[in-house]
């Protein structure tokens, strides 16, 4: 594990490319540009946890759907960087793409103080909701877990054709 100096002598335990696609410092900058007080109020330790969880969530959600090829080195535990990656507009993609870093920061905000994948949330497929006392039931085909549609939008150029997080249609 590599340690980096963070702010007033604080040590940042995040290793970009191993633990997360973005550092706490860069995530802070991302949210500062967007004037987000929730992120800035969080502790560094909570931000580190959220960035790690967001990275694991993204890698798990989009596994097998990324453009290019994993280099295959056992030392590279994350999906990116990749070899022979060409985005949807024909550009070579090297290193960790900015939109992947931004997506990680965006998802990490969702993960502050909560798990990203809630066991009972069914992706918005509510069949019935009662207000008092609260009573929610979901459609049978509703997927378990919370949906984050912004990930598909932000990462679309880095996914194989038809490769969003909901699967793809293949004509045979």
pLDDT above 70: residue 162: no
CA geometry: angle 32, 36, 41, nearest 5 deg? 95
Distant-in-sequence, close-in-space partners of 79: CB < 8 Å, separation ≥ 6:
59, 62, 63, 66, 70
**pLDDT tier for residue 61 given thresholds of 50, 70 and 90:** very high
**pLDDT tier for residue 118 given thresholds of 50, 70 and 90:** low
Q: Which residues face 137 on adjacent strands?
A: 128
pLDDT in tens, 132-142: 666 556 566 65
pLDDT in tens, 32-49: 999 999 999 999 999 999
pLDDT for the residue numbered 72 = 87
Highest mean pLDDT among 59-63, 126-130, 166-170: 59-63
**pLDDT tier for residue 123 given thresholds of 50, 70 and 90:** low
pLDDT for the residue numbered 164 = 44
Q: Residue holding tokens 């987000």?
A: 36
* 60 alpha carbon, distance to own chain's centre: 9
pLDDT in tens, 74-117: 889 999 999 999 998 999 999 999 999 999 999 999 999 778 87
Q: Which residues face 167 on adjacent strands?
A: 164
Tokens linked to 109: 């905000």
Segment 145-164 shows an average pLDDT of 82
Give me the helix-helix angle, 98-111 and 24-33, nearest 10°.
90
Phi, psi of 32 (to 5 degrees): -65, -40
Tokens linked to 16: 């970009």
Highest mean pLDDT among 3-7, 100-104, 148-152, 168-172: 100-104
Tokens linked to 56: 């694991």
pLDDT for the residue numbered 127 = 52
Output the average pLDDT for the chain: 81
- Pairwise CA distance, residues 26 & 35, whole Å: 14
**pLDDT tier for residue 6 given thresholds of 50, 70 and 90:** very low
How many residues are given for the chain? 172
143 Ramachandran zone, left/alpha/beta (phi>0; psi -120 to 50): beta
């Amino acid at each position: 594990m590599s340690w980096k100096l963070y702010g007033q002598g604080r040590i940042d335990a995040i290793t970009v490319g191993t633990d997360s696609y973005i550092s706490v410092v860069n995530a802070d900058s991302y949210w500062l540009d967007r004037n987000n007080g929730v992120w800035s109020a969080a502790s560094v330790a909570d931000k580190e946890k959220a960035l790690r969880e967001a990275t694991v969530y993204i890698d798990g959600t989009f596994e097998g759907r990324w453009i290019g090829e994993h280099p295959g080195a056992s030392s590279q535990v994350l999906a990116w960087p990749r070899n022979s990656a060409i985005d949807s507009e024909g550009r070579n993609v090297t290193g960790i793409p900015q939109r992947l870093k931004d997506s990680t920061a965006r998802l990490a905000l969702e993960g502050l103080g909560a798990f990203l994948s809630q066991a009972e949330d069914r992706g918005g497929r509510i069949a019935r909701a009662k207000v008092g006392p609260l009573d929610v039931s979901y459609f049978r085909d509703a997927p378990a877990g919370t949906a984050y549609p912004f990930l598909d939008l932000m990462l679309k150029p880095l996914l194989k054709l038809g490769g969003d997080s909901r699967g793809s249609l293949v004509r045979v």
